[in-house]
Amino acid sequence: MSYEKELAAAKKAVSLAARLSQEVQKSLLQSDVRSKSDKSPVTAADYGSQAVISHVLEKELHPEPLYLVAEENAEDLQKNGAEEFLESITKLVNNALASDDSYANSSLSMEDVRKAIDHGRSQGGSNGRHWILDPVDGTRGFVKGEDYAVALALLVEGKVVLGVMACPKLENHKSSSSGCLFFATVGEGAYVQSLEGDSHPPQKVQVSNIENPEEATFVESSHKPIPIHSSIANKLGIKAPPLRIHSQVKYAALARGDAEIYLRFTLKGYRESIWNHAAGAIITTEAGGVVCDADGNPLDFSRGNHLEHKTGIVVSTQKLMPWILKAVRESMEEEMLLSETQLKL
């Protein structure tokens, strides 16, 4: 099945949202960063990006109903004292939309923007079509002026069939500008183009062809080192220190061959949200990579807002994956033995 219309709408939506986020990042002050109920940071860019993408998808794909599984909701924007913040978000949204000729005459009210944000309350699942959105993936990096992504994917009957991801801070190999737009449709490969929409046509991307795990580069999150990651890297004989990158930009790095291994092992009890992986996963797999859990099973995006997988997510190339899964098994067994020994002491 062709998803040309959906891909065109997704690329337009993500590009406009990236433009909005870039404007916010340029002038962001620490006082502009708010905390959500779960203590994670949120900015006007998170809300504004979600509103832009929701609005553009709804208009471009009309009359098809829009079901959006997204990270943000407008709950905090309805509280006392939030009106000024919502007003600033609305201004950002209208400025971003006005930069596209087809939206130049459409001005949204604060209520329109709030409703657009709240479109993101779909629960996903294995039936029908659901768009999966992380409007600013890697907000912690974003507020420091570092890497982040705007990540959008389409789930059809429980399968991710399309992904578009803007990486505004990632260097573009084909031009002097920074900012890349990655996209992939199931069965059709993965591509990258300049976020600026310059004269360079989209380029097909492929994962690295390195066959020796000792020569591999691995990426992990920028928060703090995870001990099991070091154990796995040591077993593989990897010499180079890890690249620490925020957000799904890690998937982009693998998709175009900048790195070969992405490990994500989290604290016990942490549940992975589907919007943190959907777009990146299809872009990497369409570039020839493999995305799986620690047991080698593909990730299942059909179970609602969260992934239901065994501990750990492993992303690599087909050539290296058997070596990595062996090192993962050994490291997990050693970690289990160590914790059992400590319990006995």
Residue 178 · residue 169 · CB < 8 Å: yes
Amino acid of residue 136:
V
Instruction: Please return the burial class of 262, using the count of CB atoms within 10 Å of its CB with bins 0-12, 13-18 and 19+.
Output: buried
Q: Is 300 annotated as a binding residue?
A: no
Kindly name the residue from 139, 185, 217, 285 that is annotated as catalytic: 139
Structure tokens of 247?
A: 């957000």
Alpha helix positions (H), the chain: 4-27, 44-60, 83-98, 110-117, 139-142, 227-236, 249-255, 278-286, 321-344
Task: Compute CA 119 distance to the chain's CA centroid, rounded to the nearest angstrom.
Answer: 19
**Please, what is the end-to-end C-alpha distance for the chain in angstroms?**
59
30 torsion bin: left (phi>0), alpha (psi -120 to 50), beta (else):
alpha
Q: Is 293 annotated as a binding residue?
A: no
Kindly name the residue from 46, 118, 147, 293 that is annotated as catalytic: 46
Paired strand residues for 198: none
Distance CA 312, CA 242 (A): 17
Q: Is 134 annotated as a binding residue?
A: yes
Three-state SS at 166 = strand
Helix (H) or strand (E) holding 316: strand 313-317
* 311 has catalytic annotation: no
**Binding-site residue set:** 71, 134, 137
**Binding-site residue set for Mg(2+):** 71, 134, 137
Catalytic annotation, residues: 46, 139
